[in-house]
Structure 1
């Protein structure tokens, strides 16, 4: 009998990739969860229990975040991360799926839709990043300095986990010790800062409008009304540039929609997937 839940790591595209797989016994629909910057699959912990009642789920820690690895040889471009996710799914024998991406994870979803247009059936973008440019050349050159990764560590330490959480959550009462610990734990190892250096150096910038116009995959955009990280205006612009998309706005909600409104996000995802599935 096949296991219903598996957690582990695979070496994919030269990097150790941690993932969790929930295999639904009867559902034909699989949802792939991709988290955002400075986060991990921990950010979906309230959404997974809801989704797994109706779908099979694959949730991934993007390198170098969470429990995934760091390698100096790995190219931390969005295109390569998209390739890594696609290769993981192929390795797992999963060829028919829907993508869900939060923040930076949404941009990686868009890269999958662009570079591998036949892979995913539908996509859900949760406060997806968009229209960001590549880092300035001076900063990229500085990233080659010895111990630059420690400079990133100091910078993030100064901003502090509490300040960062307050910036991404609209209802401050939701911030508790579990949330603080969950988002802080991955940053206790220096390897993640070396990976962040690679991400800063390699990140090629978000997909431009002329590329977004070519993406035909049905997309549902879910946005927090008071998102301070990726403002609602970005969601409205993405909805205009993606030809087959719909924008849904959650009132009194910030950037971290899977934390703040998991029940609402689940309902929107479920309705979106099954509505299209029924049409087929």
Structure 2
């Protein structure tokens, strides 16, 4: 089981509250299990490819939203850890994974959030536990702020809050950071496409993990298969490029519409998780994010990168369960 320590740090004005981990006994993480079976489903007028994690029928549903360039498979291990408590639905956002986008979809954060909200509402399962990583975290913040009736709790793993000073020097290959920028990104993408797929997978893993040695060969093989599948999808590269632009635009809006202004409107109990070695969205944004969301608590994990739910699934699961337990007892 993952036993990564939790940093408690010190913050002031106002202080950040750090989340207690659950004492629940969880199964050992088995990263050899394949992704959960997938299916296309239409809900709320939105068609997406999803992966369903079985769980207790009388429990609330967890919905998992991946980040930029990711897919529903980013949640395989965390969903497995939580499956004894809740059933789960991991979505492929429009244009990602195996979700073919509907004509006219504009790939803005608002459009992605609207698609997720409509899909959740159409499920008819009541308020859900919503979990989002990176761009999926930004999308989930929008859903929670605009549709509070849909959200039971919110978990944000390195959410893509505005970070206008990315630290490219920490990246193993800075080309990955600029491949989807407007104008200059196209030529970089062409050069990256010529790199052998195994090397591209390793570059990506080095970007999002603090320690690539934690990634078993089975997961590397799955990532390589996804790379090959996306290369055959005519919508994949345009969706990634335009979603990247949509994310950057959400960072540059006037303050009145900023994500920092959105955060205080979130009323759901919220867990914010960040890795100290996040190369994409600096952990320096973690305390501010947790302070601005009224009912948020923070978990900072040492020696962890941008995808804590993949790198330390057991620790993140214990934190999520800790939140759920405290919410159930009225102590959050």
Q: Does the alignment reach a TM-score above 0.5?
A: yes
Match of 2:109 in 1: 78
Deviation at 1:240, TM superposition (A): 2.1
Query: Do 2:60 and 2:87's aligned partners in 1 also have CA atoms closer than 8 Å?
Result: yes
Q: Is the 8 A contact 1:33 1:57 kept in 2?
A: yes
- The residue number in structure 2 matching 1:57 is 88
Residues 1:199 and 2:248 are matched in the alignment: no
Q: Residue 177 of structure 1 aligns with which residue?
A: 217
Q: Which has the higher contact order (CA 8 A, sep 6+)?
A: 2
- Once residues 70 and 152 of structure 1 are traced to their aligned partners in structure 2, the CA distance between those partners, rounded to angstroms, is 24
Are 1:111 and 2:152 matched, yes or no?
A: no
Moved more, 183-192 or 56-65: 183-192
1:167 aligns with 2:167: no
> Which residue of 2 is the match for residue 217 of structure 1?
268
Contact 1:71 1:195 in 2 (8 A): no
SS at match of 2:120: helix
Q: Which moved more, 1:225-234 or 1:11-20?
A: 11-20
Shift of 1:24: 2.6
- Change in Cα spacing, 1:213 to 1:57, as seen in structure 2 (3 Å) is same
Aligned to 2:300: 249
- Superposed CA RMSD: 2.6
1:208 counterpart residue number:
259
SS in 2 for 1:45: helix
Aligned residue number for residue 255 of structure 2: none
Q: Which residue of 2 aligns with 1:43?
A: 74
Is residue 233 from structure 1 mapped to residue 264 from structure 2 by the alignment? no
> Which runs of 5 or more residues in structure 1 are unaligned?
134-138
Q: Is the 8 A contact 2:68 2:244 kept in 1?
A: no
State how far apart, in whole Å, the 1-side matches of 2:245 and 2:304 are.
32
- 1:30 and 1:55 in contact (8 A); partners too: yes
Offset at residue 118 of structure 1 (A):
2.0
Say how many residue pairs are matched: 265
Match for residue 20 of structure 1 among 37, 51, 68? 51
Q: CA deviation at 1:23?
A: 4.6
Residues 128-156 of structure 1: CA deviation (Å, up to 9, x unaligned): 110157xxxxx65x59xxxx9x6574255
Query: Is 2:130 aligned against 1:99?
Result: yes
Tell me whether 1:271 sits opposite 2:315 in the alignment.
no
With over 3 angstroms needed to count, the CA separation of the structure-2 counterparts of 1:156 and 1:124, relative to structure 1, is farther
Query: Paired residue for 1:260?
Result: 311
Task: Check 1:76–1:15 CA distance in 2 against 1; reply closer, same or farther (3 A cut).
Answer: farther
More strand per residue: 1 or 2?
1
In the aligned structure 2, how far is the partner of 1:243 from the partner of 1:155?
45
Contact 1:15 1:70 in 2 (8 A): no
With over 3 angstroms needed to count, the CA separation of the structure-2 counterparts of 1:166 and 1:202, relative to structure 1, is closer
Superposition deviation, residue 265 in structure 1: 0.7
TM-score (norm 2): 0.72
Equivalents in 2 of 1:13, 1:30: separation in Å? Answer: 16
In the TM superposition, what is the alpha-carbon distance from 1:225 to its structure 2 partner?
1.6
Q: For the residues of structure 2 that align with 1:68 and 1:279, how far apart are their CA atoms?
A: 38
Distance in 1, Cα, partners of 2:191 & 2:250:
22
Q: Please report how far the alpha carbon of residue 89 of structure 1 lies from its aligned counterpart in structure 2 after TM superposition.
A: 2.1
Contact kept, 8 Å, 2:46 with 2:119, in 1: the verdict is no
Is contact 2:45-2:118 (8 Å) kept? no
Q: Report if the CA contact (8 A) 2:68-2:240 is conserved.
A: no
Structure 1 72/195 Cα, relative in aligned 2: closer, same or farther at 3 Å?
Answer: farther
